[in-house]
Amino acid sequence: MKSVKLKYLFLLIAAMVGFSGFNGLLAQKKTKIQLERADNLIGSKTNGIDLNIFIGNVIFIHEGTFLYCDSAVFNTSANNLDAFGKVHVLVNDTLSLYGDVLNYDGNTKIAIVTGDVKLVDNRSTLTTNRLVYNRNTQIAFYTTNGKIVNKDNTLTSKRGFYHTDINELYFKDSVVLVNPEYVLNSDTLRYNTATEIAYISGPTTIKGKDEFLYAEDGWYDTKSDRSELKQNPWLSYREQFLSGDSIYYDKESGVGKAFGHVLMKDTVQNIVLKSQFADYRRRDGYAYSTDSAVAILIDKTDSLFMHADTLKMIFDTLENPTHLKSFFHTKFYRTDLQGKCDSLVYSFNDSTIAMFGRPALWTQANQLTANQITIYSSGQKIDSLFLDNASFIISVDKFDISKYNQIKGKNMTGYFKEYELYQIDVEGNSETVYFVREEDGGLMGINKAISSDMRILINQRQISEIYYFQQPEATLYPEKEFPVEELKLKDFKWLGNQRPKSKYEIFLWEDEPQPVLKR
């Protein structure tokens, strides 16, 4: 803000050059004010100074500028005049200054107008109760509240400067810009009456019907409803929130782009997207994040953190989010559930997660893989899941982490209670290898079974019962008699080293070497 204050001070000095002791800053030729006409002339002498008092249809001219009034007191020796009543200063063909009282110095070319003041050009009208206009710098300024009307835009502030030659306005203190679409409030603002672009130089809010924008730097195009926001910018649209290092927003097309430390949030669905770049296309029905993109599905007790190369949010016709899609190198973490896959679709309507492209899912001691995995939830808790084609469940033995219980089949449906997997239904080509133990953990043997379909019950993370359907074959082997080459079923692949152990490990993506299986 220091630079803004210095700029304001500079503008004030520049605007006042010619009558505040800085005459040396401007080399200017002094010419006399000329009387063009008046109905009556009264001569007067006050304190030894000769004054001419003109009354009725008074017109003066000074270097191409015409000054109209009802009456005037002209000091010929000092080359200045005081004008009263219906004052009109015709600066040029496109700029006029109106007021009740005028003091004009012909040496400095400074005009001070008070009363019902208006400065009018071919684009805008400025009104205030006191205005100083410097013909040398072509700058008009006020310090006692002013209003500018420029087409559909109305701007007010306590202090302001108008560079009439370049159509630039500088506003300071309690700045308000009102147009049919937005209301802008700011501490400092620069506005161009030709382009109708407002340039932000301090804490600023822009409020529309559904949008609310904040920034401390940037610009806002009032004609096209486009804006570029910098320095702590953010915008909200209904239940959606977007922030970043910088934001570009086009209201007409509904496009918003954010760069650097981006955060998108939907307060209804309780989801947060973080990234380094986001593209929000409200009218097209989607928004996506890339570059270190993370989605956080917020829950009161346990939130899910997910990373992918690209995260995409889909909206319905009412602009409410319906789906979250992730593409390439997807990995997620929640205390009770972790997973990885190539791509994923999350449905907000029914809290369903569909995983595609070599999906792997971990819950407690279980690893689940298939061509596709679908997770069904109820009340923020996993209710069930479906493994579609090439289904495989591997769990670490509770009493020996070097041993793995395995369930394999074409399709599987798993059921959960309080985050624990308690039942698995296997459909087609069912196979199992699991370690049968006593209640105290003592190993009874290794069971290998084959059946068309199976139902497996799990208690305390261990297989407790298996029901076989249609021509089952099951054998319980003593540990020493079980063939070592059959300790793992075909296509066995333990991916435990790829399992994220915290929300920070969702960014890690690599294929880890397989552990050596022991009898």
DSSP state for residue 13 in the 8-state scheme = H
Q: Does the pLDDT of residue 272 top 80, yes or no?
A: yes
CATH code matching the domain that covers 1-28+118-232, chosen among 1.10.274.10, 2.60.450.10, 2.60.34.10, 3.40.50.10860: 2.60.450.10
pLDDT for the residue numbered 19? 38
Average pLDDT over residues 280-304: 89
Could you tell me the end-to-end alpha-carbon distance of the chain, in angstroms, rounded to an integer?
A: 73
Let me know: does 487 contact 451? Beta carbons within 8 Å: no
281 pLDDT above the threshold of 80: yes
Q: What is the mean pLDDT of the chain?
A: 88
Whether 23 shows a pLDDT value over 90: the answer reads no
Residue 342 or residue 1, greater confidence: 342
* Average pLDDT of span 35-61: 86
* Of 286-300, 384-398, 447-461, the least confident: 447-461
- The pLDDT, as a whole number, for residue 300 is 75
Across residues 241-256, what is the average pLDDT? 91
DSSP 3-state assignment of 20? Answer: coil
- Is the per-residue pLDDT at 114 higher than 90? yes
Residue 470 confidence class, pLDDT cut points 50, 70, 90: confident
Q: Is the pLDDT of residue 517 over 60?
A: no
Residue 210, pLDDT score: 85
Q: Which residue has the higher pLDDT, 17 or 211?
A: 211
- The C-alpha atoms of residue 271 and residue 265 are separated, in whole angstroms, by 6
Beta bridge partners of residue 286, listed in sequence order: 281, 314
3-state secondary structure of 503: helix
Alpha-carbon distance 403 to 453, whole Å?
24
E strand or H helix at 11: helix 2-16
Q: In sequence order, what E strands does 310-419 have?
A: 310-315, 321-334, 337-347, 352-356, 360-363, 366-369, 372-378, 381-388, 391-396, 404-409, 411-417
User: Does residue 17 surpass a pLDDT of 80?
Assistant: no
pLDDT band for position 511 (50/70/90)?
A: low
% of the chain at pLDDT higher than 90 = 62
Nearest-angstrom CA–CA distance, 333 and 339? 7
Average pLDDT over residues 459-463: 76
Entry pTM? 0.78
In the chain, what are the domain boundaries?
Answer: 1-28+118-232, 29-107
Q: What is the pLDDT of residue 48?
A: 66
Better-predicted residue by pLDDT, 113 or 463: 113
Instruction: Output the pLDDT for position 268.
Output: 85
For residue 506, name the pLDDT band (cuts at 50, 70, 90).
Answer: very high
Which residues, in sequence order, are CB contacts of 287 under 8 Å at separation 6+?
264, 273, 278, 279, 280, 281, 312, 313, 315
Greater confidence, 358 or 320? Answer: 358
